[in-house]
Every structure is written in structure tokens, then in C-alpha cells.
Amino acid sequence: MAENEYDVLIAGAGASGLAAAIAAAGGGASVLVLEKNHVPGRKLLSTGSGKCNFSNLAVTPARYHPSVPGFLEKTFGALGPAEVHSFFDGLGLLRAEKEDGRLFPRSMKARDVANALLNKLEALKVPVQILTEVLSITRDKEFFRVETAKVAPKWDKKAPAGEKKTYTARRVILACGGAAGPQIGGTDKGYGLLRSLGHCVSPASPGMAPLKVREILVREVDGVRLDAKLSLITGGKKLSEASGEILFTSYGISGPAALDLSRGALLALRGGPVFLEADLFPEYSAQALRELVSSRAAAFSGRPFRHFACGLLNEKVIRAAAALCEIGWDVPAGPGLDKLAAVLKAFPLEVTGSLGFEDAMLSSGGCSTAEIDPVTFGSKKAEGLYVTGELLDIEGDSGGFNLHFAWTSGILAGRHAAACGRAT
């Protein structure tokens, strides 16, 4: 094989790219991985607050939102969750299972996930060329020509940059990731490469991003975390709901439950006002909560509302709820208590938007799955091209589902690329 010629070239050393490289090399192909950042798996190191929630025991198509219904049924039929978990077992990674099904490395260190992948590539003798950006990809008979340029690290302005090199490969896997997290390597360059190869790409937007709300009172509860059930409301109808931890912030609301609803909220905003209702007592029915409020009102009759509120809920949150009901803190509650149970079951927030790519967990939008084979992740537009991970218009719920999809798409693409791209 000629110099700079490979069976499979992978653009991107993120989650799906590293998985694809291992699968392709394991299938006997010669593989090269190109990465524009100075560290392979840079974004992977930041996932799960540095702990890397890399999968979930409850993976099903219902936990995802693909651009084409039915796509993931075929994907998970070709490579089930148990097989992906076995893939990590084979890397020597011990895992910790949480009660809600989330999977972490037993060490609770994202670096151990990245290192397990990189160690396997080292054992397979797969080169990972860092600080190398893919400029263009063109088809030349049975090969792809991949034009690249060296990237200077940000900390070394004197380092040489711009040096160009051309690689050829029988198969190319685009695993460049999306635009989320530009400060840790996120980029939109993959979308341009996809378009140049004939793919339709829907505009990227921040996905699983904290939501902004109109209410100023959220500043009073900034930093408070609690378990709640959120309902997404527009036009008086509930579109969806999510349960789990929420985090009030100075600008709005974050946390897993809010992030799970962010995609739907931003889409709904295109058509009109959007509201969230936070059930702060999800373990109580509406009637049971009314009875609780009524019994406490009787028990604390004539005493300041702060006596009634003590031990009921986080003080900052109950103060905010009281303000909505026009209840004073240091005086008896009076008629405002009639509203309190309703507010605690449906704390109202009007969504105005979300934070940007810098604070988003992933990118929404990307390559339409209508143009991708759900079993091989091969392109229907350019033979020999594969598209994986965040470049695809698929968004999963929080809890390890998006990383699980990255591994799955990478492994399937790597296997097929190796089987079809090996030199004979």
C-alpha cells in the first residue's frame, strides 16, 4: 500500500470516531484517525461533569428523536445495547451501574474511558494524527482524496501551521462531531464537508441547552436543585413532560429534566409562546397536596407563614411560590394559601430561548437520517462514505443515551467500512 494510503480514514477522534477506528482495525483494515484538537477525545473528557455517563441500561428507540421515524429500531436491531456494553468490557473498563440505569466507569473518571479506547488503538497500531484539520474530501475513482492542514495549538503561536497533506482512502468515516462546546473542540466544519459530498444538512442549533425564562423571580432561587416533574405547555396543551433533577439559575432552568425538554421547547417557540410548569411535589397528587396545605394551615393558624413553610420545601423556592400567591413571609398566610397548592404543583415559567453552543451538551440538526443506512451508517449519497455520531440529526435524552448512540454508530460504520474497504 502506498504512503498516506489507507483502507479507512476517520475524520474525528471523538466518541464515535474512536469506536469506529477500533471496529475497523479489528476487522483487518488499515486505519488512520485525523483529529484537529491536540487531545483525542477532548469533548469526551468533559462529559458527565468529568465522570462520563457513557451509556444506560434502558436504551430503546423511544429515548431518541431521529429525523426519520423507525431509523433506530433497525440500528439497535443490528447492534444491541448489550453488545455495546460488551465492547467496553473487552477494553477492560469496569463499570458502575446507577439505580436509574446510567452507566459510568467504576473509577468515575472520564479519562479512563478515553484512555481505554486509546490504549486499544495503540495495541491495534492505529495512528491518531492530532492537530490535523480536514479541509476537503473528494472522490477519485475507487478512492477518496482527503486534503488536510496542520493546526497550530492555541498555546504555541510560533508552532508551524498550514502545512498541507493529502491522504487517500477507500472508505471515509465522518465523525467530526457538532458545533456544541466550541471551547472544548466543538466545530461546524463537518456540516460543510457533508454538503460538499451531496448531503442535506439541517441548520445546527444548541441541543440539550439550559433554558432561559421570562420570570425575574428565578434570580431568587438561583443555584437551587430539586427533583421535579416538568411539563412543556403551548397553546394550552401539554406537549411532553420529563422527571428528574432541575436546577434553577439566574437566567432560567437547567438540570436533566429541563435539558430533556429543551429540544421540544425551542421547536415549539417557532410557533408561539411556550411555558414550563414545574411540579415541585411530584410524589403527591393534586388532591393530596391540597390536603397537606390545608392541614398545615390549620396546624400553624395565626402564625407567620415562615412557620408554615419551614421543612416544606427549600426556603428560596417556597419564598418564590409565596410571592406568586401574594403571601407575606412574616405574617399569617391568609387567603393566599388557597393558591399555594396549585402553584407548587404547576410552578409557572415562560420559556424565551436557550443558552448558546458554549453551554449546550450537543448540537441539534445535522445530516438527515433519510440519507443514511441505519445498519451500516453508510451514505446513500456518496458510496464509501459513512456518517456517525453528532453529525446526524438524532438527539437522545440525557442519561448516557447520546454517547451510547455515538458508540453504536461508530462500531457499525467501522465494521462495514473494514469489510468493504480492505485492500485485496
> Given this model, what pLDDT does residue 395 score?
93
CA atoms within 13 A on the CB side of 71: 22
Q: Answer for the pair 209, 46: CB distance below 8 angstroms, yes or no.
A: no
Specify whether the CB–CB gap between 132 and 153 falls below 8 A: no
Q: d(Cα 246, Cα 153) in Å, to the nearest integer?
A: 37
Which residue type occupies 287? Q
Residue type, position 222, single letter = D
| Burial bucket for residue 25 (CB in 10 Å: 0-12, 13-18, 19+) | buried
257's enclosing H/E stretch is helix 256-269
Which residues have C-beta within 8 Å of that of residue 10, sequence separation ≥ 6? 17, 20, 21, 24, 31, 32, 33, 34, 172, 173, 175, 414
Q: What is the pLDDT of residue 67?
A: 80
Calpha distance 218→281 (Å, rounded): 18
What pLDDT is attached to residue 3? 81
How far apart, in whole angstroms, are the C-alpha atoms of residue 300 and residue 294? 10
Q: Which residue has the cell 432561559?
A: 212
Q: Tell me: the pLDDT tens digits for 120-135?
A: 999 999 999 999 999 9
- Across residues 190-219, what is the average pLDDT? 94
Residue 241: band (very low, low, confident or very high) from pLDDT cuts 50, 70, 90: very high
Q: Which helix (H) or strand (E) holds 148?
A: strand 143-150
Residues with Cβ within 8 Å of 237's Cβ and at least 6 positions away in sequence, in order, are none
| pLDDT greater than 90 at residue 159 | no
Pairing of strands 102-105, 55-56: antiparallel
Can you list the domains of the chain with their CATH numbers?
A: 5-207+356-421 (3.50.50.60), 210-355 (no CATH)
- Mean pLDDT of the 73-80 span: 98
Find the helix packing angle between 71-78 and 401-421, rounded to 10°: 70
How far apart CA 152 and CA 165 sit, in angstroms, is 15
Q: Where are the beta strands (DSSP E) in 345-410?
A: 347-354, 362-367, 385-387, 394-396
Amino acid residing at 177: G
In the chain the first and final C-alpha atoms are separated, in Å, by 10
pLDDT classification of 424: cutoffs 50, 70, 90: low
CB 195 within 8 A of CB 205: no
Distance, CA of 93 to CA of 285 (rounded, Å): 43
Residue type, 118: L
pLDDT in tens, 13-62: 999 999 999 999 999 999 999 999 999 999 999 888 899 999 999 999 99
- The helix (H) or strand (E) run that includes residue 246 is strand 237-248
Task: Please list, in sequence order, all residues whose beta carbon lies within 8 angstroms of the beta carbon of residue 263, skipping any fewer than 6 positions away.
Answer: 65, 207, 208, 364, 395
Number of Cβ within a 10 Å radius of residue 116: 17
Contact 362, 207 (CB under 8 A): yes
pLDDT at residue 258 tops 90: yes
The three three-digit cell numbers of residue 90, written as one number: 473487552
Phi, psi (rounded to 5 degrees) for 81:
-55, -40
Residue with cell 472544548: 184
423 confidence band (pLDDT: 50, 70, 90): low
Enter the pTM of the model. Answer: 0.91
SS3 (DSSP) at 36: coil
Over range 182-200, report the average pLDDT.
95
